[in-house]
Chains A and B, each alone.
Chain A
Amino acid sequence: MKVLTADTAVIGGGPAGLAAALTAKKQGADKVLIIERNNELGGILQQCIHHGFGLHRFKQELSGPEYAQRFIDMVKKTDIEVLLETMVSELTPERKIYAVNSRNGMMEISAKAVVLAMGCRERTRGALRIPGTRPAGVFSAGTAQRFMNIDGYIPGKKAVILGSGDIGLIMARRFTLEGARVEAVVEVLPYAAGLTRNVVQCLEDFHIPLYLRSTVIEVHGEDRVEGVTIAEVDEAWNPIAGTERYIECDTLLLSVGLIPENELSTQAGVAVDPVTNGPIVNESLMTNIPGVFACGNVLHVHDLVDNVSKEAERAGRFAGRYALEQGEDWKKRVKVIAGENIRYVVPHEIGLDEPVEFFMRVQRPDENVVIDVGGLRSVRQRSIRPSEMLNITVTPEMLKNVTGDSITVQVVTLKEAEVRA
C-alpha cells in the first residue's frame, strides 16, 4: 500500500474542492492534494453547458465548464497535487484517508487538515416511491444532463419532468432546444422549487406548462415509459380523486431535490444536521472532528456556484491555517439558531473574533420582510423564497454585542423591525 502525506487533503475536485485547495495553498500549506473520483476536475459544472455562472464572482455570464476552467487554470499554476479517477473509501477521525485508483492501488494518506467537498446526489424515484411500473426512460435530471451534454445522446423525445428544481428547469429548456417536447413540469409545492430566473428563461420563454400542487401518481409502460398519470394534491400532498390526467411521454425526468453525500463523513464520525443533511460546522467551517472542514454542496445544497466558491475559500483558508498551526484553540462559542421562517443557517456555531458569513434558506416565500440576525444586523428583503439562498455577513464589530450563548436568525415583518429599532 502506498503511503502519502499532505498538509491539506481536499476530497472532491468540483468547484468547492478547487477553491478550497487554492486558498489552503495561499495560506502557506506546503502540500495540498485534491482527490477526485472523475477523470477530470470541475465536478458537475462540466456537464452544465448553459450560461449563468459567475455573475457575482466574475461579473460575467459563463458556462459551467468555463467557470470551472478558471479555477482549474489557477490550480495548474500552483504545485497543488491532483489525483484523478481516485475514490476515497474511508476517512478516519485521525484524518487518515484511504483511497484507491488503477495506477497506485490502495493509498493511505495522512493529512494535517481535510476538506470535505464531495458534493451531492439527486433524490431518486425509489426515495419518492412513485407507484407504477419500472421501465427504461426514468432518469434523474442530472443523469439525463450528462447523457446529453457529455455523452451526446438524447434520452427521448417527449418528456414529463417531476419537480421544478433548477436542474429540471434547465433540462426542460435543453430538451426543447434539442427538438424534444416537454409536455409538463409537475411540482408538488404551490411555487416553483428552482430560481425565478430559471422559471422565466427555461419554462415561460418556451411555453412549457408548469403544474403546481401536482404530482406524478403512476408510471406506465413495460419496457420503456409510455406515459404518466399526474394529479393535483391536497395540503398533505395526497392526490385529489378526480383530478387525474394521463400524459403520454417516453421519458420521465426527476428533479426532486439534492442530498449532500455524507456517507464518508458520517463514517468518520462527523455530526450531521438533519435539516441540511450536511455537517454541523463552526464559522471556520470546521466539523466536530478537529481538522476536518466542509464546504460546497456536501455542507448544504447551494443554488449559485459563486456562493460555493466563496464558502469553499473560507474552508480552505481555515484548513490551510489549521494544517500550519495544528489544533488552534477557539475562543467563545455561540450557537446559531434558526428562528421564525428560517429553515436552516450555516454555520451552526460561531466564534466572535472573525467576520462570519451566514448562509440561510427560508421555509416559505414572503415579501417585504426583514432578516434579523440575532439583533446584530437587520437586512431588508423585498422577496424571500426557499429556492433562493440568502447570505448575510456580520463583522467582529457587530459580534461585540453578543451577550448570551446563542443568537437567533429570524424573519420579521417591517413593522416588527421598526418597533425593535
Chain B
Amino acid sequence: MIDKTRCSVQIAIVGGGIVGTSVARELSKYNLDVLLIEKEAEVGWGTTKANSGIVHGGFHEVPGTLKAKYCFPGNQMFPQLCEELDVSFKQNGILMVARNEEEMKTVEQYLERGLERGVNVRLLSREEVLKLEPHLEPSILGALYAPEGGSVMPFELAAALMENSIQNGVQLLTENPVTNAWVEGDQKVLETPAYIIKAQVVINAAGLFADDLARMFGDDYFTIRPRKGEEYLFDMTTKDLVKSTIFPVPSTKSKGILVIPTSEGNLMIGPTGDDVLEKEDLTTTTDGFSRILEGARSLVPSIDPRKIIAQFAGVRAASSRHDFIVEFSPNIPGLLHLAGIESPGLTAAPAIAADVVQMMKDAGIKMEPKIDFEPRRRKVIRFHRLSRKEQDQVIKENPAYGRVICRCETITEGEIIDAVRRGARTLDGVKFRVRAGAGRCQGGFCQPLVMEIISRELGIPFEQVTKRGTGSEQIRYAAKELLTREVEQ
C-alpha cells in the first residue's frame, strides 16, 4: 500500500456543500490555515445541487428554533453576498396562497410570525394576487406576500463561495471521503483514501453523513434522517408563467409542493418530502411525479408537463432533533457540528457561517482579520445576458465567446473554458456552472463539444472526461477496440 500523505492544518471543514463552502469563505476573512475536504469531484454536489434555490422569506420557521434564528438574517445577507460573488440572484418574491377559509387563517398566522421578526410581509387580496400572478388558480382567496424572498442557483453559489475561498487562501481537497476519524491529544485526525490530516478544529459540515462523521469520533448523540425531494424542471418557454415563488400553506412535515421560477426564469415544480432509507437514494419516481404535478396544478392550473426537460432528486439531511444542530460537540472538544441543515438551510447558510466565526472567537481561537481579504471573485461573462453591443465587444476581446457551443441556452466556448479554469472538472460541473447542456436538448448536441473543451483544458484524454467524477465516464471504448479485443481472444 502506498503511504498516505500526512498534513496538519488549523481548521478542517468536512463537506463542501452550501454550509461547508459558506463557512470556508467566512473563515477565509481571517489569518487561519483552513482545508476543506470533499468526497465528490467538485463542491456542491450533495444535497446542495438538488436544492430548490429558494431564498426563503423568514416567516415560515417556528419561533425559538435555530431555523428561525438563522433564516431571516440569512435572507438579508443574500443581496450583498451574491453581488460580491457575481452569482445570479433575483428577489422575485414569495407568495403563500390560501385556497380556502381555513388556509386563510393559517396565512394570517404566518403574517404575524413574519411581522414579529421584522420580515417585509403583507397580505394580498384575491384581486391583488391575480394581478401580480394572472396564471394562479383563480379561486384562491388571497395570499401572504414576501417581496424579499428570492431565487438563486445553489450550485453556482457553492462553487462561487469555494472559488472565492481559494482566492483567499483556503485549500480544497476533492474526491477524498473521510473514512476514519479519531482524537490524538488536542488534535483531531481525519483519514481519507490518500491523506491523514491533523486539525485543531474539525467543522462537521458533512450533510447527510454528519452523523457518520460524528460517530467516527465516537460522538453519537444525533442521527441524520434522509428525506428525499424530487424536482421537475421546465423549458425556458415557461418563463412568463409566474414571477414569484408560489407556496401552498405548509403541512406539519414540509413546505409543500411549490411552483418555483429559477433565477434564470424557467419553472421548476416540487419537491416531494419522503423519508428514505438510503442517504443517496436519488431516484425519481412515477408516484413522486404525479403528486408534484397535482400539487403544482392546484396552484397554477395551466402547467403543462410536456414542457418538462429534466428531473432530479436530492436528499435532505434532516436531523433527529427536527432542527439545525449548530454547536461544539459536548463530547469531543474542537469538533463543531453544523448538522441537520435541512430547509431553510440554503437561506440560513450565510448567517450560520457568520455565527461560526463568533463561536470560534468564543472558543478562544485567535481570529485575526486578513488585511488583504478579497471579497469579490473575477466577474463572470454570461454571454446570453449581454446586449448585442456588449456581445460584439466581448468577442473582439476573446473570439472564443463568438463560438456558441450550447445552442439551447446560448452558452459559448469562452464561458465553458472559463468554467473549467475556475474549477469545473466534469460535464456536470460545467453544466451546473454555466448551463451548457441544461436546456431543452439536455446536452444531446453539445455534450461531445463540451467534452472536447474539458479534455483540452485539463489535458486529459477525451474518454476520461466524466459526467460527475471517476466511474461516470461517458465513453468507454475507442472505435474498433471491442473488435480487436475479440480477435485477440
**Residues in chain A within 8 A of chain B (CB atoms):** 1, 37, 85, 87, 89, 98, 100-106, 121-122, 124-127, 129, 131-137, 139-140, 142-143, 146-148, 150-157, 178-180, 217-218, 222-224, 250, 263
**What residues of A have a CB within 8 angstroms of the CB of B440 in the complex?**
121, 124, 263
A156–B478 Cα distance when bound, in Å, is 10
Whether A129 contacts B289 by the Cβ 8 Å rule is yes
Considering the chains assembled together, what is the distance between the CA atoms of A85 and B472 in angstroms?
A: 30
- For A104, give the chain B residue with the smallest CB separation: B402
**B404 contacts chain A at the CB level, 8 A cutoff:** yes
Residues on A with C-beta less than 8 A from B395 are 100, 102, 105-106
Q: Name the A residues within 8 Å of B486 (CB-CB).
A: 179
Assembled-state Cα–Cα distance A178/B475 (Å): 14
Q: How far is the CA of A191 from the CA of B3 in the complex (A)?
A: 60
Most chain A beta-carbon contacts within 10 A, residue among B311, B312, B483: B311
B448 touches A146 (CB 8 A): yes
- Give A118's nearest chain B residue, CB to CB: B407
* B485 touching A179, Cβ below 8 Å: yes
A1 touches B392 (CB 8 A): yes
Q: Which residue of B lies closest to A122 (CB)?
A: B444
Asked whether A154 and B469 contact (CB < 8 A) given A106-B388, A121-B441, A124-B309, the answer is no
- Establish whether residues B476 and A156, one from each chain, have CB atoms under 8 Å apart when the complex forms: yes
Q: How far is the CB of A200 from chain B (nearest CB, A)?
A: 24
- The distance in angstroms between the C-alpha atoms of A127 and B309, with both chains bound, is 5
Contact with B399, one of A1, A103, A217 (Cβ below 8 angstroms): A103
* Most chain B CB inside 10 Å of its own CB: which residue of A102, A137, A180: A102
From B53-61, B95-103, B277-285, B322-330, the one touching the partner chain is B277-285
With A100-B402, A129-B289, A223-B471 as contacts: A179 and B483 at CB distance below 8 Å: yes
Q: Which residue of B lies closest to A150 (CB)?
A: B448
State which of B12-20, B69-77, B460-468 sits at the interface with chain A.
B460-468
Complex CA–CA separation, A397 to B95 (angstroms): 63
Q: Give, as a whole number of angstroms, the nearest-CB distance from A19 to chain B.
A: 22
B105 to chain A, nearest CB (A): 37
Q: Which residues of B contact A (CB under 8 A)?
A: 232-233, 237, 280, 282-286, 289, 305-306, 308-312, 388-389, 391-392, 395-396, 399-404, 407-408, 410, 440-445, 447-448, 462-463, 466-483, 485-486
| A101: chain B residues within 8 A (beta carbon) | 402-403
State the 7 A-B residue pairs at the shortest beta-carbon distance, nearest first.
A179-B482, A223-B471, A102-B402, A102-B399, A87-B404, A136-B467, A126-B310
A100, A126, A147, A178: the one within 8 Å of B482 (CB)? A178
Q: Which residues of A contact B389 (CB under 8 A)?
A: 1, 106
Task: Give Cα distance in the complex from A223 to B286, angstroms.
Answer: 22
Neighbouring B residues of A106 by C-beta, 8 Å: 388-389, 391-392, 395
Are B468 and A223 interface neighbours, CB within 8 A?
A: yes
Q: A127-B306, A156-B477 are in contact. List 18 more A-B contacts (CB 8 A).
A: A1-B388, A1-B392, A37-B407, A100-B404, A101-B403, A102-B402, A121-B441, A121-B444, A126-B233, A136-B468, A143-B445, A154-B481, A157-B482, A178-B479, A178-B480, A179-B483, A179-B485, A179-B486
Whether A142 touches B476, Cβ cut-off 8 Å, given contacts A178-B482, A223-B471, is no
User: Cβ of A125: which chain B residues have Cβ within 8 Å of it?
Assistant: 442
A126 and B463 CA atoms in complex are apart in Å by 25
C-alpha spacing A42/B467, complex, angstroms: 29
Q: Which residues of A contact B396 (CB under 8 A)?
A: 105
User: DSSP majority for the B interface?
Assistant: mixed
B280 — which chain A residues lie within 8 A by C-beta? 222
Q: Are A129 and B441 in contact (CB under 8 A)?
A: no
**CA of A178 to CA of B441 in the docked complex: distance in angstroms?**
27
Residue of B nearest to A156 (CB): B476
Considering only CB atoms, which chain B residue lies closest to A151 in the complex? B448
Flag if B282 contacts A134 (CB, 8 Å).
Answer: yes
Dominant SS at the A interface? mixed
Q: Is B471 a contact partner of A153 (Cβ separation < 8 A)?
A: no
In the assembled complex, the Cα of A102 lies from the Cα of B417 at a distance in Å of 15
With both chains docked as a complex, state the minimum distance between the C-beta of A111 and any C-beta of chain B, in angstroms.
Answer: 18
A87: contacting residue among B286, B410, B479, B482, CB under 8 A: B410
- Which residues of A are found within 8 Å of B410, using beta-carbon distances? 87, 89
CA distance A106 to B462 in the complex (A): 31
The smallest C-beta distance from A112 to any residue of chain B, in angstroms, reads 22
Neighbouring A residues of B441 by C-beta, 8 Å: 121-122, 124
> Chain A contacts of B310 at CB under 8 A?
124, 126
Nearest CB in chain A to that of B445: its residue: A121
Expressed in whole angstroms, the Cα–Cα distance for A121 and B305 within the complex equals: 19
Query: Given that A105-B391, A150-B448, A179-B483 are known contacts, is A223 also in contact with B469, CB under 8 Å in the complex?
Result: yes
Given known pairs A105-B402, A224-B471, A224-B472, the reply for A154 and B477 (CB within 8 Å) is: yes
- Can you report 17 A-B residue pairs in the complex whose CB atoms are below 8 A from each other? A1-B389, A102-B399, A102-B401, A102-B402, A106-B389, A122-B441, A129-B308, A131-B285, A136-B468, A139-B474, A143-B447, A151-B462, A155-B474, A178-B479, A179-B483, A217-B286, A224-B472
Specify which chain A residues have a CB less than 8 angstroms from the CB of B388 in the assembled complex.
1, 98, 106
Closest chain B CB from A412 CB (angstroms): 32
Residues of B within 8 A of A134 (CB): 282, 284, 312
Q: Give the shortest distance, in Å, between B242 (CB) and chain A (any CB).
A: 20
Contact between chains at A136 and B472 (CB < 8 Å)? yes
- CB of B283 within 8 A of CB of A133, answer yes
Contacts of A217 in B (CB 8 A): 286
**A224 touching B473 in the complex, CB below 8 Å, given contacts A102-B402, A105-B395, A148-B479:** yes
Q: Which residue of A lies closest to B402 (CB)?
A: A102
Cα distance A223–B283 in the bound complex, in angstroms? 13
Considering the chains assembled together, what is the distance between the CA atoms of A122 and B441 in angstroms? 7
**Shortest distance from the beta carbon of B297 to any chain A beta carbon, whole Å:** 15
Q: Which residues of A contact B462 (CB under 8 A)?
A: 151, 153
Q: Please indicate which of the listed interface residues A98, A125, A151 has the most CB atoms of chain B within 10 Å of its own CB.
A: A151
Contact present for A136 and B474 (CB under 8 Å) = yes
Q: Which of A37, A106, A139, A223 has the most CB of B within 10 A?
A: A106
Residues of B within 8 Å of A154, CB to CB, are 475-479, 481-482
B311 contacts which chain A residues (CB < 8 A)? 126, 129
CB pair A155 B475 closer than 8 Å = yes
Chain A hits for B237, CB < 8 A: 263
**A100 cross-chain contacts in B, Cβ below 8 A:** 391, 395, 402, 404
Minimum CB distance partner of B404 in chain A? A87
Q: List residues of chain B with CB within 8 A of the CB of A98.
A: 388
| A152–B479 CB distance below 8 A | yes
Known: A154-B477, A155-B474, A155-B475. A102 touches B400 (CB 8 A): yes
Are B284 and A131 in contact, CB atoms less than 8 angstroms apart?
Answer: yes
Query: Of A103, A129, A140, A180, which is within 8 A of B402 by CB?
Result: A103
Q: How far is the CB of B177 from chain A (nearest CB, A)?
A: 14
- For A136, list chain B residues within 8 Å (CB): 466-468, 472-474
Point out the residue from B445, B472, B483 that lies within 8 Å of A223, measured CB to CB. Answer: B472
Contact A250 B476, CB 8 Å, known A143-B447, A154-B481, A179-B485: yes
CB distance from B453 to the nearest CB of A (A): 13
Q: Which residue from chain A places its CB closest to the CB of B281 in the assembled complex?
A: A133
Q: How far is the CA of A142 from the CA of B447 in the complex (A)?
A: 12
Given contacts A87-B407, A154-B479, A224-B471, contact A127 B448 (CB under 8 A): no
* CB-based nearest B residue for A250: B476
Residues of B near A180 (CB, < 8 A) are 482
- Bound CA–CA A228/B116 (angstroms): 53
CB distance from A136 to the nearest CB of B (A): 4
